[in-house]
Structure 1
Amino acid sequence: MAAVEVRNGYKYYGSKSSPKIVLNQLNMNVMRGSIYGLLGASGCGKTTLLSCIVGQRCLNGGEVRVLGVKPGEPGSGVPGSRVGFMPQEIALVEEMTVKETIFYFGRIYGLTDERIREKFKDLKDLLQLPPARQMIKECSGGQQRRLSFACAMIHDPELLILDEPTVGLDPMLREKIWNFLVETTRNSKLAVIITTHYIEEANQANYIGLMRKGVLLAEDTPTNIMIKFGTQSIEEAFLILSQRQGTEDQVVDQNRNQSVALPAAVLPLEVIDSHDPTTDEKPPIPYEETPNENRKKVFFTTKGRLKALMTKNFVQLFRQPSGIIFMLLFPIIQLTCFYLAIGKTPTNLELGVYSGEVDSYSECFDANLKTIYNANDTCHFNKLSCRYILELGDDIATRKYYASQEDALKEAKRALTVGYIYFAHNFSESVHELIEDGIHASDGAVDNAELTVHIDMTDQQVAYYMQRKLRDKFSDFMNGVVRDCNVSSALVKLPVQFQDPIYGSTDIEFQQYCAPGVVMTMVFFLATLMTAAVFISERMDGIWDRTLLAGVSATEMLWAHLCTQLIIMTLQSFEVIMYIGIVFDTYNNGDTTTLIGLLTLTAFCGMLFGLFISVFCKSHTEANFVATGAFYPMIILCGLLWPLESMPRFLQDLVMVLPFTIPSISARNVIEKGWSITNAKVYNGFLVMAAWTIIFFVLCLVGIRRKA
């Protein structure tokens, strides 16, 4: 019975109108208990043919049957445990040890741990494997290739496919592997398909297929091929067949069912096939896996696969220094930078002061100076500007005194100070008139009783800080003056007073306002970058495809990553909340568990966004461009840098559906107002983030299945 049958196999890439044909009406038989050597130059279609046999790709025309079934049919075991596949690339996780790698593939194939140990011992002696605790990245190229071969053999497959298995191996080991394959196929029904550039070593195969430009030129035993062409070697026969091809053969166009001329020959002049087609074979016996502990179902997968996949995921992350930094240290570093650099009181500022009331500023520091005194039941003021200067102190800015307003302005223009304050020469008299006459005071008195502030507005954050502090100080100053004179404040035109707020403190800090948004965006994009990097690396290294060929579905791999990341993101969210609370004494008026839950959901959504990027990006560079391009618009539009109310109305409605806008408001409501998750202004943040999580998850499933 044939282990592999390919009938009229046709495969092309590109469009139907101008296809790049890779396999052209190819026919192939591989019998059980035999070694089939598939020979041909690079680019002739060998790897594509093998990928179609194992179900990784589909033919555009023709049919493939493996072990009596079509690859990919439910319960066929192909791809899966009935087939062992060793790709050209190493396709192993560099951070895993030799033993962990063997156990990874053994568990994926459903073997018990005891059986894996037995097989590992046998294969270690046969293939001269490195020490069990040696990491893959520390192995030489030959050692890695031998380990890759062992992973393909660990589960005793019925069909073994080896794509260039002996490249980089010494002649003694190549001979040992060939002897093992010959002995194994002689005493069992194991079928082996092996591709090699070493044509002469294929003499030990039972059958040889000579392939060129997507066509099987000849298929027979090595001896019959050499007899047929009167040569002493398979290599000479291959050269003769290649030369006998015409230069203007015909290609069958599968889409239009007619022949078109190609400049290069792609159809054989003669195909030698020693296998008689079997027309009355009995249908194959349905394949059933032997039940064991590792094959028990756990939700979406088996116990062994879940253990193998999650172990691999954790090993990849924790054995890479960059992985530990990304997961644990980066959040700490970024939060430390934020809390140390943002929202703190500006220091080392110099503020100019000019008062027209004093001839010498030493008068203001005279302990005997009285700025307010009562005489004849009347409140009198004397050099009130000195009182304000003293109350101002150096906590806001270092004061620098000037003899004239022109000097103060000149140095402010030279940026030697951040600005200056100015008191009119009749400041005290004007304040007295304002208190005595109230609303009937002259316009001149009202103007001269005010504090005049000139601030350099080029640095708006410093300017805002200075204006706010000077205004608050002046408000306190005027309240003190009125209080000392026992005058009702209702009769006096005072600066605007800040009343006690409903929530938060009177002195609202920019840092506390920004903190929820900063933490959420940081957690989201760290998860995005980390996940995209892991998935792209797996795909580029061939680990993703090799795991799929072992029978693991893309959905199983996705769920395993989700479970792994959920654990990591929960720990990371807990770490972030505890760190900013303990180290920076950030208050939280609400439930910490609610915040951790929202942050974990945010990180989970970011992970899916990273997976979504990795599905459609072919390289790390492309993924970084996409992630960076998405990061800045979200930061700018989520209300983190500037209030949403300042945006045009249509933009306000648009940004409300972004991943950070409403969730950031929800986090702020928990921290500042102490609201619980039952409040609509809190749980709507969870709903928005959950919606984006579902959207990214569905897009990932669609993309992964299309790619697979």
Structure 2
Amino acid sequence: MAAVEVRNGYKYYGSKSNPKIVLNQLNMNVMRGSIYGLLGASGCGKTTLLSCIVGQRRLNGGEVAVLGVKPGEPGSGVPGSRVGFMPQEIALVEEMTVKETIFYFGRIYGLTDERIREKFKLLKELLQLPPATQMIKQCSGGQQRRLSFACAMIHDPELLILDEPTVGLDPMLREKIWDFLVETTRNSKLAVIITTHYIEEAKQANCIGLMRNGVLLAEDTPTNIMIKFGTQSIEDAFLILSQRQGNEDELAQIMDHNKNQALPAAVLPPEVIDTHEPNTPEKPPIPFEEPLNENRKKIFFTTKGRVKALMTKNFVQLFRQPSGIIFMLLFPIIQLTCFYLAIGKTPTNLEIGVYSGEVENYGECFDENLVTVYKDNDNESCLFNKLSCRYIRELGDDVATRKYYASEADALSDAKRATTVGYLHFAQNFSDSILSVMEDGIHTSDGAVDHAELSIHIDMTDQQVAYFMQRKLRDKFSTFMRSVVKDCNVSTAIVDLPVQFQEPIFGSTDIEFQQYCAPGVVMTMVFFLATLMTAAVFISERMDGIWDRTLLAGVSATEMLWAHLLTQLIIMALQSFEVIMYIGLVFDTYNNGDTTTLIGLLTLTAFCGMLFGLFISVFCKSHTEANFVATGAFYPMIILCGLLWPLESMPQFLQDLVMVLPFTIPSISARNVIEKGWSITHEKVYNGFLVMAGWTIIFFVLCLIGIRRKA
């Protein structure tokens, strides 16, 4: 019985109008209990043919049957445990050890751990595998190829497909592998398809197929192939085939001359074929049932062995890479430390000029005997003396270092040269003007009102420093005026303070910019850390061939996706807990609400970021392309989420748009928990969960669609 049958196989890439034909009406038979050597120049379609045989790709036309069934049919075992596949690339996880790699593939194929240990012992001796505890990345190229071969053989498949298995191996080991394959196929129904660049070793195959430009030009025993081409070796026959590129007539003449037998049909016109209607009715599929064991027990839509294998691989990949540990555990700490140490702190080393017209010698401002408020109990009034000195004393050095000037012109000159950040100006009649405002109230003259104010001149080119200085100076002036009124202690004393701070409804009057920004910063940080890490892992798996090889072992894309989701969910929950505890214990960040709610929101945010990273990895072919996409998405989200500037300042259409972005409402929800102490039952809190959950579902669905289309 044939193990593999290909009839009129047709495959092309590109569009229908401009197709690149890879397989053109190809016919192929591989019998059970035999070795089939597939030879051909690079780019002739060998790898594409093998991928169609194992169900990784589909033909555009024609039929393929493997072990009596169409690849990919439910319960066929193809791809799956009936087929063993060794690709050209190593396709192994570098962070895993030799033993872990064998157990990974054994569990995926459903073998018990005891059976895996037995097979590992046999294959280790046969293939001279490295020590069990040696990591893949520490193995030589030859050792890695031998281990890759062992992974294809671990489950005793019915069909073994080897794509360049002996590249980089020494001659003695190549001979040993071939002897093993010949002996195994002779004594069992195992069918082997092997491609090799070592042409002469293919003489040991039972049948050889010579392939060029997507067409099987010859399919026969090695002896008959040499007779057809009139050569003494398979290599010479292959060279004749390769050197006659584009000249089928010459090849036909050579073969007719030597063996009065025509070649198969030449390359057909480049006509795109979408479907192929078989002339004979389809054969009923051969039922295939795997024996039940511990690792084949069903867990929802997967098995215990696959869950164990996939989860182990995912955790090993993350935590055996220094970059993985840094990314997952240390990066959040480093970034939060930078944020809390650099943002929202009081600026230091600032110098501000001071000019007071009512003071000739600034030293008298610090005279302990200086009295600035005199109370006249008889007239129920007060007298003020050099109040500017009182303000200068109360200002202190916590805001800025003070530099005193004899004239306003000198203070202005230094400010223009940026020697100081600005200067304060007190009018010559500053104290008398304040008294006039207190006594006359609304009847005070405009001049007295102007001279009673603190005149602040600040360099506005540095907006952050200017904002800080203005706020602090005005706060100090408000406190100063309150103390003056209190010292005066007269019932008729009424003063219109420049700034009146009332008791806040939520929070405190001295809330820092840092506390306001913290929720948004933390959420964007965990989101994009998860995005970059996930995109890197998935793209690496795809580029290294691990993703495709696992699919060929019978694991579905959905199973692999859920395994990654579960792994990341555990890590993200740990990371969110770490972040909340770190900023609370180390930086004493207060939280008036429920910590569990914040951890839940952060975990959901990181989970959404992971799915966004997976979405990027599905459609990006390289790490560079993925980084460009992630970076391009990062800045618009940061700018538009209200973290840097109030949402109310945006045009209405933009306000409506940003409300559905992943960070806008969730950041507000986190701030409501921290500052207002609201629980998850409050509308302004649970709506953040709803928005993040919505984006999570959107990314998940897009990932499933993308992965299935790619598969």
TM-score by length of 2: 0.95
- Which aligned pairs between 1:16-415 and structure 2 lie closer than 5 A? 16-241=16-241, 243=244, 245-246=248-249, 251-255=268-272, 283=284, 285-375=286-376, 376-377=378-379, 378-415=381-418
Task: Report the Cα offset of residue 489 of structure 1.
Answer: 7.5
Task: Report the Cα offset of residue 282 of structure 1.
Answer: 7.6
When structure 1 is superposed on structure 2, of 232-241 and 601-610 the one drifting more is: 232-241
Tell me if structure 1 keeps the 8 A contact 2:10–2:273: no
Structure 1 segments, 4+ long, off by >6 Å, are: 278-282
Task: Report the Cα offset of residue 425 of structure 1.
Answer: 0.4
| Alpha-carbon distance between aligned partners in 2 of 1:523 and 1:402, rounded to the nearest angstrom | 51
Task: Report the Cα offset of residue 284 of structure 1.
Answer: 5.0
When structure 1 is superposed on structure 2, of 184-193 and 230-239 the one drifting more is: 230-239
Task: Report the Cα offset of residue 433 of structure 1.
Answer: 1.1
Task: Report the Cα offset of residue 232 of structure 1.
Answer: 1.3
* Pairing 1:639–2:642 present: yes
When structure 1 is superposed on structure 2, of 522-531 and 463-472 the one drifting more is: 463-472
The residue aligned with 1:275 is none
| Alpha-carbon distance between aligned partners in 2 of 1:601 and 1:489, rounded to the nearest angstrom | 60
| Alpha-carbon distance between aligned partners in 2 of 1:386 and 1:234, rounded to the nearest angstrom | 105
The residue aligned with 1:260 is none
Task: Report the Cα offset of residue 279 of structure 1.
Answer: 8.8
Q: 1:595 to 1:114 in 2, by over 3 A?
A: same
The residue aligned with 2:255 is none
- Which aligned pairs between 1:496-575 and structure 2 lie closer than 5 A? 496-575=499-578
| Alpha-carbon distance between aligned partners in 2 of 1:539 and 1:374, rounded to the nearest angstrom | 84
Tell me if structure 2 keeps the 8 A contact 1:574–1:596: yes
Aligned-partner SS, 1:148: helix
| Alpha-carbon distance between aligned partners in 2 of 1:18 and 1:161, rounded to the nearest angstrom | 31
Task: Report the Cα offset of residue 366 of structure 1.
Answer: 1.4
Q: 1:355 to 1:280 in 2, by over 3 A?
A: closer
The residue aligned with 2:254 is none
Task: Report the Cα offset of residue 431 of structure 1.
Answer: 1.1
Percent of paired sites with the same residue: 88
Q: 1:297 to 1:617 in 2, by over 3 A?
A: same
One-letter amino acid matched to 1:192: V
Task: Report the Cα offset of residue 225 of structure 1.
Answer: 1.8
Tell me if structure 1 keeps the 8 A contact 2:24–2:267: no
Task: Report the Cα offset of residue 486 of structure 1.
Answer: 2.1
Tell me if structure 1 keeps the 8 A contact 2:92–2:546: yes
Tell me if structure 1 keeps the 8 A contact 2:61–2:273: no
Task: Report the Cα offset of residue 673 of structure 1.
Answer: 0.5
Cα-to-partner distance string for 1:269-291 (whole Å, 9 max, x where unaligned):
xxxxxxxxx99998553000111
Tell me if structure 1 keeps the 8 A contact 2:350–2:421: yes
One-letter amino acid matched to 1:62: G
Task: Report the Cα offset of residue 240 of structure 1.
Answer: 4.0
One-letter amino acid matched to 2:135: M
- Which aligned pairs between 1:437-476 and structure 2 lie closer than 5 A? 437-476=440-479
| Alpha-carbon distance between aligned partners in 2 of 1:521 and 1:316, rounded to the nearest angstrom | 24
Cα-to-partner distance string for 1:179-229 (whole Å, 9 max, x where unaligned):
000000000000000001111100100001011111111111111222333
Tell me if structure 2 keeps the 8 A contact 1:158–1:191: yes
One-letter amino acid matched to 2:137: K
Cα-to-partner distance string for 1:373-412 (whole Å, 9 max, x where unaligned):
1245331111111111111111111111000000000001
Cα-to-partner distance string for 1:446-487 (whole Å, 9 max, x where unaligned):
111111000111111111111111111111111121222223
Aligned length, in residue pairs: 688
| Alpha-carbon distance between aligned partners in 2 of 1:628 and 1:16, rounded to the nearest angstrom | 35
The residue aligned with 1:265 is none
Aligned-partner SS, 1:91: coil
One-letter amino acid matched to 1:186: R
One-letter amino acid matched to 1:206: N
The residue aligned with 1:271 is none
| Alpha-carbon distance between aligned partners in 2 of 1:282 and 1:647, rounded to the nearest angstrom | 67
Tell me if structure 2 keeps the 8 A contact 1:332–1:576: yes
Q: 1:281 to 1:627 in 2, by over 3 A?
A: closer
Q: 1:508 to 1:281 in 2, by over 3 A?
A: closer
One-letter amino acid matched to 2:345: K
Task: Report the Cα offset of residue 488 of structure 1.
Answer: 4.3
Tell me if structure 1 keeps the 8 A contact 2:200–2:233: yes
The residue aligned with 1:262 is none
One-letter amino acid matched to 2:654: L
- Which aligned pairs between 1:425-440 and structure 2 lie closer than 5 A? 425-440=428-443
One-letter amino acid matched to 1:642: W
The residue aligned with 1:261 is none
Tell me if structure 1 keeps the 8 A contact 2:60–2:273: no
Tell me if structure 1 keeps the 8 A contact 2:12–2:23: yes
| Alpha-carbon distance between aligned partners in 1 of 2:241 and 2:360, rounded to the nearest angstrom | 111
The residue aligned with 2:7 is 7
Tell me if structure 2 keeps the 8 A contact 1:61–1:254: no
In structure 1, runs of 5+ residues without a counterpart are: 258-277
| Alpha-carbon distance between aligned partners in 1 of 2:127 and 2:284, rounded to the nearest angstrom | 37
Q: 1:705 to 1:592 in 2, by over 3 A?
A: same
Task: Report the Cα offset of residue 230 of structure 1.
Answer: 3.1
| Alpha-carbon distance between aligned partners in 2 of 1:491 and 1:103, rounded to the nearest angstrom | 85
When structure 1 is superposed on structure 2, of 295-304 and 603-612 the one drifting more is: 295-304
Aligned-partner SS, 1:21: strand
Q: 1:280 to 1:33 in 2, by over 3 A?
A: farther
Tell me if structure 2 keeps the 8 A contact 1:439–1:491: no
- Which aligned pairs between 1:472-483 and structure 2 lie closer than 5 A? 472-483=475-486
Aligned-partner SS, 1:675: coil
Q: 1:20 to 1:373 in 2, by over 3 A?
A: same
Tell me if structure 2 keeps the 8 A contact 1:482–1:488: no
| Alpha-carbon distance between aligned partners in 1 of 2:151 and 2:272, rounded to the nearest angstrom | 40
Tell me if structure 2 keeps the 8 A contact 1:208–1:220: yes
When structure 1 is superposed on structure 2, of 689-698 and 646-655 the one drifting more is: 646-655
| Alpha-carbon distance between aligned partners in 2 of 1:215 and 1:436, rounded to the nearest angstrom | 107
The residue aligned with 1:267 is none
One-letter amino acid matched to 1:314: F
Cα-to-partner distance string for 1:102-147 (whole Å, 9 max, x where unaligned):
0000000000000000000000000000000000000000000000
Cα-to-partner distance string for 1:510-538 (whole Å, 9 max, x where unaligned):
00000000000000000000000000000
| Alpha-carbon distance between aligned partners in 2 of 1:247 and 1:455, rounded to the nearest angstrom | 91
The residue aligned with 1:600 is 603
| Alpha-carbon distance between aligned partners in 2 of 1:425 and 1:490, rounded to the nearest angstrom | 22
Cα-to-partner distance string for 1:53-103 (whole Å, 9 max, x where unaligned):
000011111100000000000000000000000000000000000000000
Aligned-partner SS, 1:491: coil
Give RMSD over aligned pairs: 1.6
The residue aligned with 2:257 is none
> Which residue of 570, 576, 594 corresponds with 1:591?
594
Q: 1:13 to 1:432 in 2, by over 3 A?
A: same
Q: 1:506 to 1:374 in 2, by over 3 A?
A: same
| Alpha-carbon distance between aligned partners in 2 of 1:238 and 1:414, rounded to the nearest angstrom | 84
| Alpha-carbon distance between aligned partners in 1 of 2:319 and 2:240, rounded to the nearest angstrom | 55
| Alpha-carbon distance between aligned partners in 2 of 1:48 and 1:285, rounded to the nearest angstrom | 25
One-letter amino acid matched to 1:289: E
In structure 2, runs of 5+ residues without a counterpart are: 252-265
Aligned-partner SS, 1:421: strand
The residue aligned with 1:671 is 674
Task: Report the Cα offset of residue 245 of structure 1.
Answer: 1.6
Tell me if structure 1 keeps the 8 A contact 2:485–2:493: no
Q: 1:186 to 1:280 in 2, by over 3 A?
A: farther
Aligned-partner SS, 2:268: strand
Q: 1:363 to 1:198 in 2, by over 3 A?
A: same
Tell me if structure 1 keeps the 8 A contact 2:215–2:267: no
